[in-house]
Structure 1
Amino acid sequence: MQAKIGLIGAISTLIGTMVGAAIFILLGPLADQTGPSLTLSFLLGAIPALFGSAYYMQLGSMFPSTGGSYVYASRLLNPTMGIITAFFMIMAGVGAIGMLALGFVNYLSFFIAGGSQVIIAISIVLIFVLVNLYGMKFANKIQIVMVAWMLIALLIYIVFGFFYQHSAEFIPIDNGPFLRNGVSGLMMAAVLAFYSYAGYGLITEIGGEIKNPQKNTPRAILISLVIVTLIYMGVSYISTSVVSIEDFISFTTSLPMAASLFLPGWVVTFIAIGGLLAIFTTLNAIMLIIPHEFVVMAKEGVVSKHFARKHKSFGTPYLSLLIVNGITIVLIVSGISETVFATMTVAGLLLSGIVMGMSALNIFKKMPDLYEKAALRIPKPILIACSFLGIVSSLLFTFLAVMDAPIVGAMALALAIIGVIYSKIVKVDILTDSLNKSID
């Protein structure tokens, strides 16, 4: 594949994936769980991502390949695990697109009222399908512009909120106990907060499309995760400092309404548009990334070669893109709720992350030479520790997430069973040598 995305583009893709609608819309429900400890919930929510980022960076440096989840699992575990992991990633992508499309309709109420939720949601999906049909390079340029606007909006909120909090006109607010609903409320909020970090490893899915991926993939993961964590903590701190928790909970669009307390109307509108762009950047990033799971499996003969077909002019894997979004549209029409879509996203990404941790533990047994040649070599004890901790924390968060929507647990189990059966039917037996050649 022709490399098209530089470090800035990779960082924009990851930040756009992680900073989604939640920071603009869902802070109220989170604050209801935590009270003033909202900032701490975002720090705790980052823990699985911080551990997981270590092995994603190592794997991304060793295997600079498109369709990272399938590639890592099939090389370091077995092809069947590669197929199952790819299915989990596709489930996560379908969930994210559905959640964001429906979230867009809810957020749109800040600007206009009325309209069919289903029709508007499907329309926004189709718009970004068209954007991505024009090719990854075009979609990534749009991504950089949208992420820049969104980051500026959030920085304005943090900086001016801080000055307002320390101004003469500000009256200190008593928001009650630090742990509004005790430790259990804080932990449940931390699980929900992890939704905001869940896409931290997705850039490895398009490693083959990144310039100098051995170095830029780990850099993009680390830089993006640090930036996003600081932004979430800054926004949550301001939000629980400048307005009463009860008022904040009642806001339908948390950040714009809170910003209206200390910023002029045109700046509030700028921030509100940033919320729309937060939805768009994640939608765009998911559509950039997830179809490549089909592409890499098609190239290795696991699924039909048609999935690897690209548009002659734009280089877009159009069939894979249309299949992923077609499934999403069917689920939207069927009435799947935003909550179920969200849980599909998190469960799919967490389960994929668990398999990635297992894959990383196998590096020193299966491919020590490739580890030694990698541009990034995380010390063995640290990588093993992070892999174990990442697996354990991801298992815990998966359990808590599935408890909220048991149907998603059933979906994941069904996909795993289908993956095993499918691998037996198609007799997936890929030689290690041929697999390693496909990495180059």
Structure 2
Amino acid sequence: MSIFRTKNLDTMVADSRSPGGLKKVLGPTDLIFMGIGAIVGTGIFVLTGTGAVTAGPALTLSFVVAALACCFAAMCYAEFASTVPVAGSIYTYSYATLGEIVAWMIGWDLLLEYGLATSAVSVGWSGYFQSLLSGFGLGLPTVLTAAPGALPGVETWFNLPALVIMLVLTTLLSWGVRESARLNNILVVIKVSVVLLFIVVGAKHVQPANWQPFMPFGVSGVMSAAALVFFAFIGFDAVTSAAEEVKRPERDLPIGIIGSLVICAVLYVVVAAIMTGIVPYQKFLGIDHPVSLALQYAGENWFAGFVDLGAILGMTTVILVMAYGQTRVLYAMSRDGLLPKRLSSINPKYGTPYFATWTVGIIFGVIAAFVPLGVLAELINIGTLAAFCLVSVAVIVLRKKRPDLHRAFRCPGVPLVPILAIVFCFALMTFLSKTTWIAFGIWLVLGLVIYFGYARRRALLHPGNAPA
């Protein structure tokens, strides 16, 4: 009856290996590409401009701070993912260590984070796609280009491209993770090539004088920008959602999590340094295509179109991986009885949670089409930072509760590293706006209402509900 009841770790691992579950088809390369696919997108192609205005050339330090917070948390994720290779990411880990109520709340949090991330990125995808069409002299009717009220003084009905890309990728995800991974790998190669080409082309146009003053807004500016560009690193945690579909999770998951994060952190810092070295940071105010602007400023207009294409491909993989992560969290919560069982049913032909995939695809596709998402990045950030804090706490708790448990990967420096993750993540949360905290609080209260009104009595751990 306790809201802090926990699941048995050994039973969880055994259940994940039982026949009839998710197909085990992913290797370390797939996981690294999945992480890069989720991370390199809106952050590098859009948020770098806003970050530059907030921190100046010290945006590079902002990326380092955000990367450190993620790195500490990634070590904790890697230990859990390799030890408990079960779908559901931090939701599952919390259920085994911190109790059902904590697991439910963080699962509820992840559903919002991943879902709104797909909606937000699909809206960004729509903008770049329409820009690319205009380059060929093509365009959509204005009423189909944005959500109602998104364009002041302009009548719009809904964002058609955002809805279409969500439905197309939902179709792909429903067909199978192997097929989705293949497409993701191809797109990741293309978009990383575009980023590397930007580095090569842009480096020769850097003017060191543009880096002075380096920190025009002081430490506060660096930290505020770090809280914003933290959004750029969201995604590596989605790799852990694939745990039940990995061939050798004890080895491959730590490689995928840490490898993708390190590669993306290096790319971000280098791109930020080159951007602010080409263009004075003040000129990024109100710009939503900062990488293209830097090339235009340098007179490399021929390459700007490639950057737009890279941005479209980058956002496509972000939507794909984040939608995948959301469906696996939903699947895990449903399997535990906290949500309707239909959401954890596996399609016999495709081996995927077909109904759950289409449920979230349609819901958040409609949100992308009809809702202007002005403060979405901050709302996603606060949910992710809260999840990172909890996984860090969970590592410390599990070390105390189960010191005998075999850990294929051990987070170094416990409890210091998890504590540093908590400190860094909470520090970034304090720099988010009051509106973001209020919206996050409302979502959590709604989650509590659903838990006590529905989920608690239907959980498999509730007396009388456990399968015979």
Structure 2 length-normalised TM:
0.84
What is residue 182 of structure 2 aligned with on the other side? 141
Give me the whole-angstrom Cα distance separating, in 2, the residues matched to 1:416 and 1:398.
22
C-alpha deviations, 1:34-93, integer Å up to 9, x for none? 111111111112122011011111111110111122221111111222222111111111
Task: Assess, with a 3 A threshold, how the Cα gap between structure 1 residues 300 and 408 changes in structure 2: closer, same or farther.
Answer: closer
Give me the whole-angstrom Cα distance separating, in 1, the residues matched to 2:440 and 2:179.
34
Contact 1:80 1:423 in 2 (8 A): no
Give me the whole-angstrom Cα distance separating, in 1, the residues matched to 2:98 and 2:210.
53
Task: Assess, with a 3 A threshold, how the Cα gap between structure 1 residues 177 and 55 changes in structure 2: closer, same or farther.
Answer: same
Aligned pairs for 1:332-371 within 5 A: 332=368, 335-340=371-376, 342-370=377-405
What is residue 408 of structure 2 aligned with on the other side? 375
Q: Which amino acid aligns with 2:87?
A: T
What is residue 277 of structure 1 aligned with on the other side? 313
Contact 1:132 1:288 in 2 (8 A): yes
- Deviation (angstroms), 1:421: 4.6
Unpaired segments of 5 or more residues in structure 2?
Answer: 1-21, 147-158
Give me the whole-angstrom Cα distance separating, in 1, the residues matched to 2:230 and 2:375.
14
- Deviation (angstroms), 1:210: 1.3
Aligned pairs for 1:40-439 within 5 A: 40-111=61-132, 112=134, 115=142, 116-117=145-146, 118-165=159-206, 173-174=209-210, 176-249=212-285, 251-262=287-298, 265-332=301-368, 335-340=371-376, 342-370=377-405, 373-379=406-412, 382-405=413-436, 406-426=438-458, 429=461
Give me the whole-angstrom Cα distance separating, in 2, the residues matched to 1:172 and 1:57.
39
Give me the whole-angstrom Cα distance separating, in 2, the residues matched to 1:102 and 1:338.
11
What is residue 26 of structure 2 aligned with on the other side? 5
Task: Assess, with a 3 A threshold, how the Cα gap between structure 1 residues 320 and 398 changes in structure 2: closer, same or farther.
Answer: farther
Q: Higher mean Cα deviation, 97-106 or 143-152?
A: 97-106
Q: Higher mean Cα deviation, 299-308 or 172-181?
A: 172-181
Q: Which amino acid aligns with 1:257?
A: L
What is residue 168 of structure 1 aligned with on the other side? none
What secondary structure is seen at the aligned counterpart in 1 of 2:204?
Answer: helix
Q: Higher mean Cα deviation, 185-194 or 155-164?
A: 155-164
Percentage of pairs with the same residue: 24
Task: Assess, with a 3 A threshold, how the Cα gap between structure 1 residues 80 and 409 changes in structure 2: closer, same or farther.
Answer: closer
Task: Assess, with a 3 A threshold, how the Cα gap between structure 1 residues 323 and 332 changes in structure 2: closer, same or farther.
Answer: same
Give me the whole-angstrom Cα distance separating, in 2, the residues matched to 1:330 and 1:13.
25
Q: Higher mean Cα deviation, 208-217 or 194-203?
A: 194-203
Q: Which amino acid aligns with 2:195?
A: L
What is residue 16 of structure 2 aligned with on the other side? none
Give me the whole-angstrom Cα distance separating, in 2, the residues matched to 1:430 and 1:15.
39
Q: Which amino acid aligns with 2:249?
A: P
Give me the whole-angstrom Cα distance separating, in 2, the residues matched to 1:412 and 1:150.
36
- Deviation (angstroms), 1:357: 1.5
Give me the whole-angstrom Cα distance separating, in 1, the residues matched to 2:85 and 2:299.
45
What is residue 30 of structure 1 aligned with on the other side? 51
Q: Higher mean Cα deviation, 292-301 or 225-234?
A: 292-301
Task: Assess, with a 3 A threshold, how the Cα gap between structure 1 residues 51 and 289 changes in structure 2: closer, same or farther.
Answer: same
Structure 1 length-normalised TM:
0.89
Task: Assess, with a 3 A threshold, how the Cα gap between structure 1 residues 263 and 230 changes in structure 2: closer, same or farther.
Answer: farther
Task: Assess, with a 3 A threshold, how the Cα gap between structure 1 residues 270 and 360 changes in structure 2: closer, same or farther.
Answer: same
Q: Which amino acid aligns with 1:120?
A: P
- Deviation (angstroms), 1:139: 0.7
Contact 2:122 2:165 in 1 (8 A): yes
Contact 1:54 1:383 in 2 (8 A): no
C-alpha deviations, 1:387-417, integer Å up to 9, x for none? 1221232223234335353323322343245
Task: Assess, with a 3 A threshold, how the Cα gap between structure 1 residues 182 and 420 changes in structure 2: closer, same or farther.
Answer: farther
Unpaired segments of 5 or more residues in structure 1?
Answer: 166-170, 436-440
What secondary structure is seen at the aligned counterpart in 1 of 2:168?
Answer: helix
Q: Which amino acid aligns with 1:346?
A: N
RMSD: 2.3
Give me the whole-angstrom Cα distance separating, in 2, the residues matched to 1:409 and 1:347.
10
Contact 1:45 1:192 in 2 (8 A): no
What secondary structure is seen at the aligned counterpart in 2 of 1:400?
Answer: coil
What secondary structure is seen at the aligned counterpart in 2 of 1:368?
Answer: coil
Q: How many pairs are equivalent? A: 423
Contact 1:80 1:428 in 2 (8 A): no
C-alpha deviations, 1:256-293, integer Å up to 9, x for none? 23123557555332222111111101001012221111
C-alpha deviations, 1:17-45, integer Å up to 9, x for none? 11121211222221111111111111112
- Deviation (angstroms), 1:251: 4.1
Give me the whole-angstrom Cα distance separating, in 2, the residues matched to 1:393 and 1:279.
27
Task: Assess, with a 3 A threshold, how the Cα gap between structure 1 residues 360 and 40 changes in structure 2: closer, same or farther.
Answer: same
TM superposition outliers: structure 1 runs of 4+ over 6 Å: none
Give me the whole-angstrom Cα distance separating, in 1, the residues matched to 2:340 and 2:208.
63
Contact 2:89 2:240 in 1 (8 A): yes
Contact 2:112 2:380 in 1 (8 A): yes
What secondary structure is seen at the aligned counterpart in 1 of 2:216?
Answer: coil
